Amino acid sequence: MRLYSGPLSLFSAKTRIALAEKGLQHELIQVGWSRADRYLPYHPEVERLNPKKQVPVLIDGDVTVYDSTLIAEYLEERYPQPPLFPRSIEERVRCRRQEAAADELWFPFIWDLIETRFYPNAGDAPTVQRAAAADRGLAELFARLDRDLAGRDYYCGDFTVADIGTAVFATAAATMGAAPAPELHNVAAWFERVSARPSVATVMADLQAAAASALAA
């Protein structure tokens, strides 16, 4: 199995965590990336395999899958143990809803923070306003997460893809100045629990190291 990943790619991080949780050995290929040119030039294999030219791309025998959500579903079907989706239909819906929310609600705010706080940018008014709006949006999402986690260790039963996506983007938010409010006790306990998992800890540490070296360059 081979994974094309990006050293700073949050979506690749989701896939790497899923692979680690399932104990699946793979060859990890980190595509080129720079702060100035981002993913250009694209890795030729990524460009060939994914019409969106994005990582992550997983190759497993004669199967090629791209998109972190689709890869997680593929892995679950092909390698069901240990499961990363709940058993009951109701909990699976809850899990998929949050996995989608991580990509579609959380990530756009994270992207605003990446563009305004990570990439070199003038501190002009629109930039500052964009970052402030992202902070507010993430604060609302953390508050909602806190309500959703009441009485639960993980988002839907055991650790699932819902926790993976949410943990990746929550970590990125915290790193870029939008940490959850300390009074959100359910989020704090959940964050500690998911961050302590070796899969999450290892992959997020790799990402932090890549970010630090990009900033130092």
Ligand X SMILES: N[C@@H](CCC(=O)N[C@@H](CS)C(=O)NCC(=O)O)C(=O)O
Enumerate binding residues for ligand X (CB under 6 A).
6, 9-11, 39, 53-56, 67-69, 103
* Nearer residue to ligand X within complex by CB, 68 or 199: 68
- Please tell me the distance from the alpha carbon of residue 49 to that of residue 64, in angstroms, as a whole number: 8
* Nearer residue to ligand X within complex by CB, 73 or 103: 103
Q: How far is the CB of 15 from ligand X (least distance, A)?
A: 8
- Please tell me the distance from the alpha carbon of residue 10 to that of residue 200, in angstroms, as a whole number: 12
Q: How far is the CB of 91 from ligand X (least distance, A)?
A: 22
* Nearer residue to ligand X within complex by CB, 149 or 167: 167
* Nearer residue to ligand X within complex by CB, 53 or 197: 53
Task: Please identify the residue of the shown chain whose CB is closest to the bound ligand X.
Answer: 54
Q: How far is the CB of 129 from ligand X (least distance, A)?
A: 24
Tokens of 37: 């040119």
* Nearer residue to ligand X within complex by CB, 99 or 146: 99
List Cβ neighbours of 181 (8 Å cut-off, separation of 6 or more): 139, 142, 143
- Please tell me the distance from the alpha carbon of residue 78 to that of residue 58, in angstroms, as a whole number: 13
Q: Is 121 exposed, middle or buried (0-12, 13-18, 19+ CB in 10 A)?
A: middle
Q: Is 63 exposed, middle or buried (0-12, 13-18, 19+ CB in 10 A)?
A: exposed
Q: How far is the CB of 74 from ligand X (least distance, A)?
A: 12
Q: How far is the CB of 153 from ligand X (least distance, A)?
A: 26
- Please tell me the distance from the alpha carbon of residue 77 to that of residue 209, in angstroms, as a whole number: 32
